[in-house]
C-alpha cells in the first residue's frame, strides 16, 4: 500500500486531511458540486472545488464545537458589528487546519497552481477600514483562544466599492463579491426573524386584565441567517459569523397581487430587500441616512431575537440572559440593541422594567472607536420616531430614569443634565447614540491608552465623572495568522527557523527570542533577502496593474489606509514636493533612492479626500517622468487597497507612515501590521503608535510632531497657519509649487482647495508638523544607507511586536470586560 493510501485507511471520516483524501475530495467537488470535469474547469471552478473541500473539513470541527457549547451551555460572546472585513478565506482556513502544504501538493498533482487559485478568490468587503478589520481579527482570536463567540452583522450584497483610477481620479465600481457564489457561507432559511418598522404604539389589556403597551409596525421585513465558520488556529474550536440578509415576508405580496397591483407587490419586495443591499462607504463621518438607521435596527433586532431563542431553548427562561451572553457593541452602530433588548424583554416577554434593565445593562459592553466629532452618531428624533415609535418611548423612559440619577448625583447642575441627556436639544432634537451606548453598558472602553484617557477627558467626561469604574482600555491588536503567516510565508518560515519552533504564531511574546539574533550577520542577510523578494513581488504587481514598476532596490515608503485629512496624506505629499525641489536645486545631493507608495479609498462624497488622490497621481506623473530626479524619487499608487492587496503591501514596506495629527487616530492597526513584517515606523505620538514605540524601543521608531497636549494648547491659543507659511521658505515653496500648476498642466485652480485650506485653516495642523517631519525623514534617509543597522532595527520591530497580537487583546477583553473562560473542544467524541 502506498503511504497516502495507508494514511487514508486510517482516516475514519470523509473529511480526512491526508493528501489522498484531499485530492479525491477536490475531484469529487469539481464533478458533483461544480458539474465540471477537470479538462474544462475554469480557474473559478477550481477555486470553488478546493474551497468546498476545505469547507467540508471546517464543518466537521465546527458542528462538534456547536454541539459541545450547547451541551455545556457555555457563556458566549456576541460581537455586534455593522462591519466585518475578513479578507480571503481559503488560505487562512488551510492554515488553521494545518493543511497549507498538503493542499499545495494536491493542487500541483492536479495540474493547478495554488497561487492562481488564491488570486481567483473575491474577498467579502463588508466594511470600510480599521473598525471592520478589527472585528475580523477578533473573530479569529476568539476562535483561537477557544472562547465561544458569535459575530453578528449584515450580509451586504454590495460591500465596499472597488476603486479604479481614471486619469488620476478615483472612480467607484460596484462590488460584486457574490457573483460567483460564496462557498464559505451556509444559508439558514429556517432561521428567519421578523423585523418591524414604522406604525404606532398602543395600549391594550392582556388576558390577565393588565394594561400593557405594544408596537404595531406597518412594515415587516424578514432577516435570514447566513453562517460562515471561523476556525481557530491549530485548535478544534470553530466559531460562527452570522450575517443577516433582508427579505420580504413571502405571504405579504399576495393581497396586492390578487387585486391586480402587481407593481405594488413587487415594489414592497424591493423595499424589503434594499435593507441589506449595500454598505455605507463612509469611514469616519456618518451619513445621517434613514436607510442606515434601518440597517442598524434590522441586524440588531435579528441578533437579539436569535440570542433569546437560544436562551429559551437552553434555559427555558430569560432571567439569566446576562450570565449566558456578553454582548459587545462595536462602536455605536449597534447601540439600538439596548433599546431593542428592553422592548423584547418588557413588551414581548412581559418582564418588569426593573428586571429587564438589570439584564440589559449587565449584558452590554461598548467600545468607542473615534473622538472625531463628525463621526459621533446622532439621529433626528423625528426620523427615529417615524421608524421606531415604540423604541422612542422606551428611550425616553431610559433617559428619564437616567437623568434622575444624574440629578441626585450632581445636585443643582442642570447644565450637566442637558449635556448628558440621551436627547440633544440644542440644534433640532437628536438622539445621541454614544450616550445611549454608555448608559446601557456595564463597561466602556477605548482602543489605545491615549484614546481611552482622552475619552475620559473629552466626549465621555461627564460619564466618567458619574461612573469611573465602568471605563477601561483595551489596546487593539491584529492577528499574526493573517498578517504574518498568510501574507508573508517566507518571513514566517525564517522566524520559525531562527527560533526553532512555530509556537510564536499562537504566543506572539515568544517572538522576543529573535532579539538574541538581531546582530547575527546570517539572519540579517536572510532577513534582507525575504524583504527584497517581497518588494519584487509587489513591484511586479504594481507594474501589471498600474504600468509603473518600482525598483525594489529603492526604499519603499508606504502610506496605506483610508484617505482622510486627519491621517494627513497631504503632509507626506508636501514632503515629497519639498524633496523634489531640493533635488532639482541640488542635483548632487546625497539621497537614498526612495519610492513613495500610497494606497487607500476615499469616501465617494468626500471631496478633499478625492482631490488628495488626484494630487498623489499628479505629483507622481511629473516626478516619475523627470529624468533629473528619477534615480532618487518615485511615487506609486496601489489601486483598490483592501485586505487582499494589503497582504502584498505589508511584507514589502521598509517604512510605514503613521502620521495622523496627535489625538485624532483612536488606535490605528496598520501600524501594527507593518511592524510585524519588519517595517520601521515614522509616526506621531498618536493612538497605538505611542505603545508601539515603547514596545519596539525608542531607537527603532522615527518619532516626530506635536503631542496631543501640545495640539490642544496650540488650538486654544489660536492656530494661525498663514504665519507658518510666510515664515518658512521651504514650506512656502512646497505649497506654492502645488498651487503653481506644475502638477496640473498649468491649471492653477485644480488643487487650490488643498493649498488654500492649508494656508488659511489647516484643521489638522499639517504646516505645524511639517518641519519636524522633514527632519525625521532626513534621519531615515541616512539610516537606510547602513543596511546592517537598518536590518537590526527591522528585526527588533518584529521581535518586540508581540503585544499587538489580537490574542492579547481578546484575552484582556475576556478577563477585564466579559469574565469568560475558554472552552476547549476535543476532536474525538
Ligand atoms: C477606527 N474608527 C479608528 O479610526 C482607528 O484608529 C481604529 O484603529 C479602528 O477604528 C479600530 O479600533 C472607525 O472606523 C470609526 F468608525 F469609529 F470611526
Average pLDDT for 382-388: 97
Instruction: Give the pLDDT confidence of 304-331 residue by residue, as tens digits.
Output: 999 999 999 999 999 999 999 999 999 9
Q: Is the predicted pLDDT of residue 571 greater than 50, yes or no?
A: yes
Q: Is residue 159 within 8 Å of residue 86, measured between CB atoms?
A: no
Please say if 567 is a catalytic residue. Answer: yes
pLDDT value of residue 257: 57
Best probe residue, ligand 1, of 370, 376, 708 (max atoms within 8 Å of C-beta):
370
pLDDT value of residue 601: 98
Average pLDDT for 384-389: 98
Element (H, E) at 434: helix 433-439
Residue 284's pLDDT band (cuts 50, 70, 90) = low
Computed over every residue of the chain, the mean pLDDT equals 95
Verify whether ligand 1 is closer than 6 Å to residue 375 (CB atom): yes
Verify whether ligand 1 is closer than 6 Å to residue 369 (CB atom): yes
Do 519-802 and 73-87+123-476+812-818 have the same topology in CATH? yes
pLDDT value of residue 73: 87
Give the separation between CA 760 and CA 503, rounded to whole angstroms.
54
390, 561, 575, 610: the catalytic one is 561
What is the percent of the chain with per-residue pLDDT over 70, rounded to a whole number?
96
Instruction: Give the pLDDT confidence of 626-649 residue by residue, as tens digits.
Output: 999 988 999 999 999 999 999 999
Going by the DSSP 8-state scheme, the letter that residue 122 receives in this structure is: P
Annotate 557-598 with three-state secondary structure.
EEEECCCCHHHCHHHHHHHHHHHHHHHHHCCCCCCCCEEEEE
Distant-in-sequence, close-in-space partners of 511: CB < 8 Å, separation ≥ 6? 495, 499, 504, 798, 799, 800, 801, 802
Which ligand 1 atom is nearest residue 665's CA? Answer: 6
Give the separation between CA 160 and CA 126, rounded to whole angstroms.
6
The region of weakest confidence among 450-454, 616-620, 669-673, 819-823 is 819-823
d(CA 370, ligand 1 centre) in Å = 6
Please say if 456 is a catalytic residue. Answer: no
Residue 252's pLDDT band (cuts 50, 70, 90) = low
Please say if 561 is a catalytic residue. Answer: yes
SS3 644: helix
64, 568, 570, 673: the catalytic one is 673
pLDDT value of residue 631: 87
Verify whether ligand 1 is closer than 6 Å to residue 665 (CB atom): yes
Residue 14's pLDDT band (cuts 50, 70, 90) = confident
pLDDT value of residue 1: 47
Which ligand 1 atom is nearest residue 668's CA? Answer: 8
Q: Is the predicted pLDDT of residue 226 greater than 70, yes or no?
A: yes
Which ligand 1 atom is nearest residue 447's CA? Answer: 12
Give the separation between CA 475 and CA 369, rounded to whole angstroms.
11
Verify whether ligand 1 is closer than 6 Å to residue 687 (CB atom): yes
Which ligand 1 atom is nearest residue 476's CA? Answer: 12
Verify whether ligand 1 is closer than 6 Å to residue 331 (CB atom): yes
The CATH homologous superfamily to which domain 519-802 belongs is: Glycogen Phosphorylase B; (3.40.50.2000)
Instruction: Give the pLDDT confidence of 138-178 residue by residue, as tens digits.
Output: 999 999 999 999 999 999 999 999 999 999 999 999 999 99
d(CA 148, ligand 1 centre) in Å = 25
Rounded to the nearest angstrom, the gap between the alpha carbon of residue 34 and the centroid of all alpha carbons in its chain is 32
Distant-in-sequence, close-in-space partners of 789: CB < 8 Å, separation ≥ 6? 783
Please say if 610 is a catalytic residue. Answer: no
pLDDT value of residue 826: 79
Q: For residues 52-83, b (16+ Cβ closer than 10 Å) or e, as one string?
A: bbbbebbebbbebbbebbeeeebbbbbbbbbb
Instruction: Give the pLDDT confidence of 644-696 residue by residue, as tens digits.
Output: 999 999 999 999 999 999 999 999 999 999 999 999 999 999 999 999 999 99
Q: Is residue 683 within 8 Å of residue 657, measured between CB atoms?
A: yes
The region of weakest confidence among 180-189, 369-378, 402-411, 674-683 is 369-378
Verify whether ligand 1 is closer than 6 Å to residue 376 (CB atom): no
- Cell 427562561, located at residue: 317
If phi > 0 it is left, if psi is from -120 to 50 it is alpha, else beta; for residue 601 that is beta
Q: Which among 666, 691, 696 has a CA at the least distance from the CA of 680?
A: 696
Among positive and negative, which fits the CA dihedral 20, 26, 30, 31?
positive
The region of weakest confidence among 72-76, 449-453, 624-628 is 72-76
Q: Is the predicted pLDDT of residue 48 greater than 90, yes or no?
A: yes
Give the separation between CA 184 and CA 440, rounded to whole angstroms.
35
Q: Is the predicted pLDDT of residue 829 greater than 50, yes or no?
A: no
pLDDT value of residue 259: 67
Instruction: Give the pLDDT confidence of 698-725 residue by residue, as tens digits.
Output: 999 999 999 999 999 999 999 999 999 9
55, 61, 75, 562: the catalytic one is 562
Q: Quote the cell numbers at residue 783.
A: 539610516
The CATH homologous superfamily to which domain 73-87+123-476+812-818 belongs is: Glycogen Phosphorylase B; (3.40.50.2000)
Verify whether ligand 1 is closer than 6 Å to residue 666 (CB atom): yes
Give the separation between CA 230 and CA 153, rounded to whole angstroms.
14
d(CA 704, ligand 1 centre) in Å = 22
Q: Is the predicted pLDDT of residue 272 greater than 70, yes or no?
A: yes
d(CA 266, ligand 1 centre) in Å = 39
What is the percent of the chain with per-residue pLDDT over 90, rounded to a whole number?
89
| Domain extents in the chain | 19-72+100-122, 73-87+123-476+812-818, 519-802
Which ligand 1 atom is nearest residue 368's CA? Answer: 17
ipTM associated with this complex? 0.98
Q: Is residue 166 within 8 Å of residue 289, measured between CB atoms?
A: no
pLDDT value of residue 427: 84
Best probe residue, ligand 1, of 81, 129, 600, 692 (max atoms within 8 Å of C-beta):
129
Which ligand 1 atom is nearest residue 129's CA? Answer: 14
Q: For residues 679-708, b (16+ Cβ closer than 10 Å) or e, as one string?
A: bbbbbbbbbbbbbbbebbeeebbbebbbeb
Instruction: Give the pLDDT confidence of 721-747 residue by residue, as tens digits.
Output: 999 999 999 999 999 999 999 999 999
Q: Which residue's C-alpha comes closest to atom 5 of ligand 1?
A: 668
365, 391, 435, 567: the catalytic one is 567
Give the separation between CA 634 and CA 551, rounded to whole angstroms.
9
Q: Which among 634, 694, 678, 687 has a CA at the least distance from the CA of 658?
A: 687
Average pLDDT for 435-444: 98
Q: Is the predicted pLDDT of residue 76 greater than 80, yes or no?
A: yes
Going by the DSSP 8-state scheme, the letter that residue 74 receives in this structure is: -
Distant-in-sequence, close-in-space partners of 432: CB < 8 Å, separation ≥ 6? 376, 378, 421, 422, 423, 424
Best probe residue, ligand 1, of 332, 369, 561, 665 (max atoms within 8 Å of C-beta):
369
Verify whether ligand 1 is closer than 6 Å to residue 377 (CB atom): no
State phi, psi for 820 to the nearest 5 degrees. Answer: -130, 145
Verify whether ligand 1 is closer than 6 Å to residue 134 (CB atom): yes
Verify whether ligand 1 is closer than 6 Å to residue 452 (CB atom): no
Instruction: Give the pLDDT confidence of 795-807 residue by residue, as tens digits.
Output: 999 999 999 999 9
d(CA 375, ligand 1 centre) in Å = 10
Average pLDDT for 381-396: 97
State phi, psi for 194 to the nearest 5 degrees. Answer: -80, 140
Verify whether ligand 1 is closer than 6 Å to residue 668 (CB atom): yes
Instruction: Give the pLDDT confidence of 51-73 residue by residue, as tens digits.
Output: 999 999 999 889 999 999 988 88
Q: Is the predicted pLDDT of residue 591 greater than 60, yes or no?
A: yes
Among positive and negative, which fits the CA dihedral 425, 426, 432, 436?
negative
Q: What is the DSSP string of 350-382?
A: ---HHHHHHHHHHHEEEE-----GGGS-EEEHH
Element (H, E) at 424: strand 423-424
Q: Is the predicted pLDDT of residue 3 greater than 80, yes or no?
A: no
* Cβ neighbours, 10 Å, residue 564: 24
* Cβ neighbours, 10 Å, residue 645: 18
Q: Quote the cell numbers at residue 614.
A: 488626484
Residue 828's pLDDT band (cuts 50, 70, 90) = low
d(CA 96, ligand 1 centre) in Å = 27
Verify whether ligand 1 is closer than 6 Å to residue 332 (CB atom): no
Q: Is the predicted pLDDT of residue 568 greater than 80, yes or no?
A: yes
Average pLDDT for 280-287: 73
Q: Which among 317, 143, 7, 18 has a CA at the least distance from the CA of 806?
A: 143
Verify whether ligand 1 is closer than 6 Å to residue 51 (CB atom): no
Q: Which among 495, 526, 488 has a CA at the least distance from the CA of 791?
A: 526
Which ligand 1 atom is nearest residue 375's CA? Answer: 18
Give the separation between CA 576 and CA 622, rounded to whole angstroms.
12
Q: Quote the cell numbers at residue 445.
A: 472602553
Average pLDDT for 401-429: 97
Q: Is residue 240 within 8 Å of residue 230, measured between CB atoms?
A: yes
Which ligand 1 atom is nearest residue 372's CA? Answer: 18
Amino acid at each position: 500500500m502506498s503511504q497516502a493510501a495507508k494514511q487514508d485507511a486510517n482516516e475514519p471520516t470523509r473529511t480526512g486531511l491526508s493528501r489522498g483524501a484531499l485530492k479525491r475530495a477536490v475531484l469529487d467537488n469539481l464533478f458533483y458540486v461544480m458539474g465540471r470535469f477537470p479538462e474544462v474547469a475554469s480557474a473559478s471552478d477550481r477555486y470553488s472545488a478546493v474551497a468546498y473541500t476545505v469547507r467540508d473539513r471546517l464543518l466537521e470541527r465546527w458542528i462538534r464545537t456547536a454541539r459541545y457549547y450547547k451541551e455545556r451551555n457555555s457563556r458566549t460572546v456576541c460581537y455586534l458589528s455593522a462591519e466585518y472585513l475578513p479578507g480571503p478565506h481559503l488560505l487562512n482556513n488551510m492554515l488553521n487546519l494545518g493543511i497549507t502544504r498538503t493542499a499545495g501538493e494536491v493542487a500541483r498533482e492536479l495540474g493547478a497552481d495554488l497561487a492562481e487559485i488564491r488570486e481567483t478568490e473575491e474577498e467579502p468587503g463588508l466594511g470600510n477600514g480599521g473598525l471592520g478589520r478589527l472585528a475580523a481579527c477578533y473573530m479569529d482570536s476568539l476562535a483561537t483562544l477557544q472562547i465561544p463567540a458569535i459575530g453578528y452583522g449584515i450580509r451586504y450584497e454590495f460591500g465596499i466599492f472597488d476603486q479604479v483610477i481614471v486619469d488620476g481620479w478615483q472612480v467607484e465600481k460596484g462590488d460584486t463579491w457574490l457573483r460567483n457564489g460564496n462557498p464559505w457561507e451556509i444559508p439558514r432559511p429556517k432561521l428567519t426573524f421578523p423585523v418591524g418598522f414604522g406604525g404606532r404604539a398602543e395600549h391594550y389589556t392582556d388576558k390577565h386584565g393588565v394594561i400593557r403597551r405594544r408596537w404595531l409596525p406597518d412594515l415587516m421585513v424578514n432577516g435570514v441567517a447566513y453562517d460562515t465558520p471561523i476556525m481557530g488556529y491549530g485548535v478544534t474550536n470553530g466559531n460562527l459569523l452570522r450575517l443577516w440578509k433582508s427579505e420580504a415576508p413571502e405571504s405579504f405580496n399576495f393581497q396586492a397581487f390578487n387585486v391586480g397591483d402587481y407593481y405594488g407587490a413587487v415594489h414592497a419586495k424591493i423595499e424589503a430587500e434594499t435593507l441589506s443591499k449595500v454598505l455605507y462607504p463612509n469611514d469616519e463621518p456618518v451619513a445621517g441616512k434613514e436607510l442606515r438607521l434601518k440597517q442598524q435596527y434590522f441586524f440588531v433586532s435579528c441578533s437579539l431575537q436569535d440570542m433569546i431563542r437560544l436562551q429559551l431553548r437552553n434555559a427555558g427562561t430569560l432571567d439569566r440572559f446576562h450570565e449566558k451572553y456578553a454582548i459587545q457593541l462595536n462602536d455605536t452602530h449597534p447601540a439600538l440593541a439596548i433599546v431593542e433588548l428592553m422592548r423584547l424583554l418588557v413588551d414581548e416577554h412581559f418582564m418588569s422594567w426593573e428586571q429587564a434593565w438589570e439584564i440589559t445593562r449587565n449584558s452590554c459592553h461598548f467600545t468607542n472607536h473615534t473622538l472625531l466629532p463628525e463621526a459621533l452618531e446622532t439621529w433626528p428624533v423625528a426620523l427615529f420616531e417615524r421608524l421606531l415609535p415604540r423604541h422612542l418611548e422606551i428611550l425616553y423612559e431610559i433617559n428619564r430614569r437616567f437623568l434622575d440619577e444624574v440629578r441626585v448625583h450632581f445636585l443643582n447642575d442642570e447644565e450637566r443634565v442637558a449635556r448628558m441627556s440621551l436627547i440633544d436639544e440644542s440644534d433640532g432634537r437628536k438622539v445621541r447614540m454614544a450616550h445611549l451606548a454608555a448608559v446601557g453598558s456595564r463597561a466602556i472602553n477605548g482602543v489605545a491608552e491615549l484614546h481611552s484617557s482622552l475619552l475620559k477627558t473629552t466626549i465621555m467626561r461627564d460619564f466618567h465623572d458619574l461612573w469611573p469604574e465602568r471605563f477601561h482600555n483595551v489596546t487593539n491588536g491584529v492577528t499574526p495568522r493573517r498578517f504574518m503567516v498568510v501574507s508573508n510565508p517566507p518571513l514566517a518560515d525564517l522566524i520559525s527557523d531562527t527560533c526553532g519552533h512555530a509556537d510564536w504564531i499562537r504566543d506572539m511574546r515568544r517572538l522576543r527570542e529573535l532579539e538574541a539574533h538581531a546582530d547575527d550577520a546570517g539572519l540579517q542577510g536572510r532577513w534582507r533577502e525575504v524583504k527584497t523578494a517581497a518588494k519584487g513581488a509587489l513591484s511586479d504587481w504594481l507594474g501589471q496593474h498600474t504600468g509603473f514598476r518600482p525598483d525594489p532596490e529603492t526604499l519603499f515608503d508606504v502610506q496605506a489606509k483610508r484617505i482622510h485629512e486627519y491621517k494627513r496624506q497631504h503632509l507626506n505629499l508636501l514632503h515629497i514636493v519639498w524633496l523634489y525641489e531640493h533635488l532639482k536645486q541640488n542635483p548632487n545631493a546625497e539621497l537614498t533612492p526612495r519610492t513613495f507608495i500610497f494606497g487607500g479609498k476615499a469616501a465617494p462624497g468626500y471631496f478633499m479626500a478625492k482631490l488628495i488622490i488626484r494630487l498623489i497621481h499628479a505629483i507622481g506623473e511629473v516626478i516619475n517622468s523627470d529624468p533629473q530626479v528619477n534615480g532618487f524619487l518615485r511615487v506609486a499608487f496601489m489601486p483598490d487597497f483592501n485586505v487582499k492587496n494589503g497582504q502584498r503591501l505589508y511584507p514589502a514596506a521598509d517604512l510605514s507612515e503613521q502620521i495622523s495629527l496627535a489625538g485624532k487616530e483612536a488606535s490605528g492597526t496598520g501600524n501594527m501590521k507593518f511592524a510585524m513584517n519588519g517595517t520601521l515606523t515614522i509616526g506621531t505620538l498618536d493612538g497605538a503608535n505611542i505603545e508601539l514605540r515603547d514596545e519596539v524601543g525608542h531607537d527603532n521608531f522615527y518619532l516626530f510632531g506635536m503631542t496631543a497636549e501640545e495640539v490642544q494648547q496650540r488650538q486654544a491659543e489660536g492656530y494661525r497657519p498663514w504665519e507658518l507659511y510666510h515664515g518658512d521658505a521651504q514650506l512656502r515653496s512646497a505649497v506654492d509649487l502645488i498651487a503653481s500648476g506644475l502638477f496640473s498642466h498649468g491649471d492653477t485652480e485644480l488643487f487650490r482647495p488643498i493649498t488654500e485650506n492649508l494656508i488659511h485653516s489647516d484643521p489638522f495642523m499639517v504646516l505645524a508638523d511639517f518641519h519636524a517631519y522633514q527632519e525625521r525623514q532626513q534621519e531615515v534617509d541616512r539610516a537606510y544607507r547602513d543596511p546592517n543597522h537598518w536590518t537590526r532595527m527591522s528585526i527588533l520591530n518584529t521581535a518586540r511586536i508581540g503585544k499587538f497580537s489580537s490574542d492579547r487583546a481578546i484575552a484582556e477583553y475576556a478577563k477585564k470586560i466579559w469574565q469568560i473562560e475558554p472552552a476547549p473542544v476535543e476532536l474525538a467524541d
